[in-house]
Chain A
Amino acid sequence: MWELIKANQRRSVVLFVLMGIILIGLGFVFGMVFDHKGTGGGAIVGIIIALLVWFILSLVAVTSGSAIMLSASNAKEVTQDVHPQLFNVVDEMRIAAGMSKMPKVYIINTDAPNAFATGMSPDKAAVAVTAGLLARLNRDELQGVMAHEMSHVINRDVKFMTIAGVMLGSIVIISEIFLRSMIFGGGNRSSSKEGNGQAQAIIMIIALVFAILAPILAQLLYFSISRKREYLADASAVRLTRYPEGLASALEKISNSNIDMPMANKVTAPMYICNPLKKKGMKMADLSSTHPPISERIRILRAMAGGAGLANYQSAYSQVKGGTSNIIPGGQLKQTEDIGIRMGIASEVMDNKTTARSSNDIMMKVDNYAFINCDCGMKLKVPSNYDGDEIMCPRCGARHEV
């Protein structure tokens, strides 16, 4: 595992350097445009401004990125009694991964099935799942999803996504500011200078092209690596659970649902296990999506025969995708691991009605409803702001203390 993290870090450094070059290049070119005297001082100011934007955004993301992500998605921290099985499953994966601290557990009150993890390091990890996910998945499937999410934290994907996301954000913001200032302020500048007008015009054209291309380029870089990490998290998850079918059938259930998640947006979408914004048309799906196609992830998981190790995932990946590209950083594959696949736990198939009811129950528990079982078989659900000491069962008329 440790080697994997290191290899990941080496990969990220390349990406960060490339994005950094784009960022500094942007600052340089834009500075030149506003540098009417041609002394080069403008370019330096441009670079400084670009770095300043990046620095401020980083500061915000590193210090409160987790909190922003959790509150933006309306996640509520819950205690063990709200959903004991969820806590048990998270604890099991914590043990399997050798993490010393139990992550915080959050539930999002929506019927759309999804999940995400945040935390720059394993000690600060938090996992969030939706009520719809808990209602739909059985134990093994839930375990697969939690293993995938915790792998993101352990592989330092969250850290990477935050840093890369901030760089991408800075590039987009700076380009946007420049393009807008061109539209609104471009007129008076053209008449202000006559000396090196031609050179200025050329710089202007370069800058415009740069402003349009840089964000696209940065996004493609970001997305291509983020997709690779999605596969890697799948591979790590199977290595933890030793049960590829759990994650595969969880992904299948998640992709079968087309309920939109109102609390997700373009910024938070890459953090989820499956893209929460599915209704939006995806023309350039292959290049611009942060997640690989789910059907492909499922096929790879189901093609894993003979073991649950990282090498087994790699060979299943090559088999399904046909190519020779490496998902697992090379050093890991040299260690031959002999890891068997375990047996699944039998569970009952739930119909839509039970799923909807149990999803509702979970949401009520998150909102601190009290549950009272009446002797007549009725289940009373009392909101936390109910005032009064007693409540009457509407079916048999028995009185219960609240």
Chain B
Amino acid sequence: MGTVGIALLVILGVIVLLIFMVIGIYNSLITLRNQVKNAWAQIDVQLKRRHDLIPNLIETVKGYMGHERQTFEAITQARSNAMNAKTVAEKGQAEGVLSGMMGRLQVAVEAYPELKANQNFLALQEELTSTENKISYSRQSYNDQVLFYNNKKQVFPSNIIAGMFNFADETFFEIQDQAEKEVPKVSFS
């Protein structure tokens, strides 16, 4: 075999190697993107759970907390706003408002000792605490996945592959803290 043959073989080898590398990177990008989608689905499950729990909660506490009608109305309103939100940013905004409201309700409960002794309410409160936790943990896990994916997309050489196949950046899910400021003041009169 002449030198030309050997050179051809080397070039062929390099090309094959490159193709395998591209396939590998492409696949890992896809896997990461799927993990992001999967993590997002987890958040959705938990948000829906909270939306389902709220009417149940209000039903249980209504009898005890006669003075908090405005709070209930505000929560119900925030709930339906959150259920109608579509984009990631909108959801972050609306769920932030709802989170703030739920926090206020938890504080308000402290003033009702009979309520705190109610077994039904205690069970419901555990479910609520857990749901709030699950929401923040699923958000945490989603943001982790987004970070991995975005990092992978930005470093060499996967940034070239990501550019070739139009992999888009994913958005972090932030439940805005400033949303709490927008919560209407609850009057205790």
Which residues of A are interface residues toward B (Cβ below 8 A)? 1-2, 84-85, 88-89, 91-93, 95-98, 139, 240, 242, 335, 342, 345
B130 touches A96 (CB 8 A): no
Q: State the majority secondary structure of interface residues on B.
A: helix
How far apart are the CA atoms of A205 and B137 in the complex, in Å? 60
Looking at chain A's contact residues, the main secondary structure is helix
Q: A1-B144, A93-B137, A95-B138 are in contact. List 11 more A-B contacts (CB 8 A).
A: A2-B148, A85-B126, A85-B130, A88-B126, A91-B130, A92-B130, A95-B137, A96-B140, A98-B144, A240-B137, A342-B136
B: number of interface residues (CB 8 Å): 20
* Min CB–CB distance A236 → chain B (angstroms): 13
Are A92's CB and B35's CB within 8 A? no
| Residues of chain A contacted by B127 (CB below 8 angstroms) | 84, 88
- The answer to whether A95 and B141 have CB atoms under 8 Å apart is yes
Most interface-central of B46, B136, B137, B138 (chain A CB within 10 A): B137
Closest B residue to A241 by CB, please name it: B137
For residue B29, CB closer than 8 A to chain A, the reply is: no
- CB-defined contacts of B141 to chain A, threshold 8 Å: 95-98
Complex CA distance for A240 and B141, rounded to whole angstroms:
9
* A to B CB contacts below 8 Å, 30 in the list: A1-B144, A2-B148, A84-B123, A84-B126, A84-B127, A88-B126, A88-B127, A88-B133, A89-B130, A91-B130, A91-B134, A92-B130, A92-B134, A93-B137, A95-B42, A95-B46, A95-B134, A95-B138, A95-B141, A96-B138, A96-B140, A96-B141, A97-B141, A98-B141, A139-B129, A240-B137, A242-B140, A335-B151, A342-B136, A345-B129
Which residue of chain A lies nearest to B148 when distances are taken between CB atoms in the complex? A2
**Nearest CB on B from A11, distance (A):** 22
Q: Is B39 on the interface with A (CB-CB < 8 A)?
A: yes
Cβ contact within 8 Å between B130 and A98: no
Q: Which residues of A contact B145 (CB under 8 A)?
A: 98
Shortest C-beta distance, B109 to chain A (Å), equals: 13
Among residues of A, the one whose C-beta sits closest to the C-beta of B142 is A98
- Whether A98 touches B126, Cβ cut-off 8 Å, given contacts A91-B134, A92-B134, A242-B140, is no
Count: A-B pairs, CB below 8 Å? 42
Q: Is the CB of B137 within 8 A of A92?
A: yes
Contacts of A84 in B (CB 8 A): 123, 126-127
Q: Which residues from B are CB-within-8-Å of A95?
A: 42, 46, 134, 137-138, 141
Report the bound CA distance from A88 to B126 in whole Å. 9
Tell me which residues across on chain B come within 8 A of A96, comparing CB atoms.
137-138, 140-141
Which one of A98, A242, A342, A345 has the greatest number of beta carbons of chain B within 10 Å? A98
**Chain A residues whose C-beta falls within 8 Å of the C-beta of B138 in the assembled complex:** 95-96
How far does the Cβ of A144 sit from chain B's closest Cβ, in whole Å? 13
Return the chain A residue nearest B130 by Cβ: A88
- Report the bound CA distance from A97 to B46 in whole Å: 15
- A98 adjacent to B35 (CB under 8 Å): yes
Query: In the assembly, what is the distance between CA of A2 and CA of B145, in Å?
Result: 11
Determine how close the nearest CB of chain B comes to the CB of A9; give it in whole angstroms. Answer: 18
CA distance A92 to B140 in the complex (A): 11
Please state if A98 and B134 are interface contacts (CB–CB under 8 Å).
no
Q: Of all chain B residues, which has the CB nearest A342? A: B136
Instruction: Knowing A84-B123, A92-B137 are in contact, say whether A98-B39 is a contact too (CB < 8 A).
Output: yes
A197 to chain B, nearest CB (A): 60
Residues of chain B in range 92-139 having any CB-CB distance to chain A below 8 Å: 123, 126-127, 129-130, 133-134, 136-138
The 8 A CB mask of B35-59 against A (1 = contact, 0 = none) is 1000100100010000000000000
The interface residues of chain B lying within 8 Å CB-to-CB of A91 are: 130, 134
What residues on B are CB-neighbors of A2 within 8 Å? 148
Q: How far is the CB of A309 from chain B (nearest CB, A)?
A: 11
- Name the residue of chain B whose CB is nearest to the CB of A339: B140
Question: Could you tell me the distance between the alpha carbons of A206 and B141 in the complex, rounded to whole angstroms?
Answer: 55
- Select from chain B the residue with minimum beta-carbon distance to A3: B148
B79 to chain A, nearest CB (A): 21
- Within 8 Å CB of A342, what residues of B? 136
Which 7 pairs of residues, A with B, have the shortest CB-CB distance? A88-B130, A96-B137, A95-B137, A98-B141, A92-B133, A95-B138, A92-B137
CA A92 to CA B130, docked complex, whole Å: 7
- Taken together as a complex, chains A and B put the C-alpha atoms of A345 and B42 apart, in Å, by 24
Closest chain A CB from B39 CB (angstroms): 7
Task: Tell me the minimal C-beta distance from A21 to chain B in angstroms.
Answer: 34
Q: Which residues from 18 to 32 on chain B have a C-beta closer than 8 Å to any C-beta of chain A?
A: none
CB distance from B114 to the nearest CB of A (A): 15
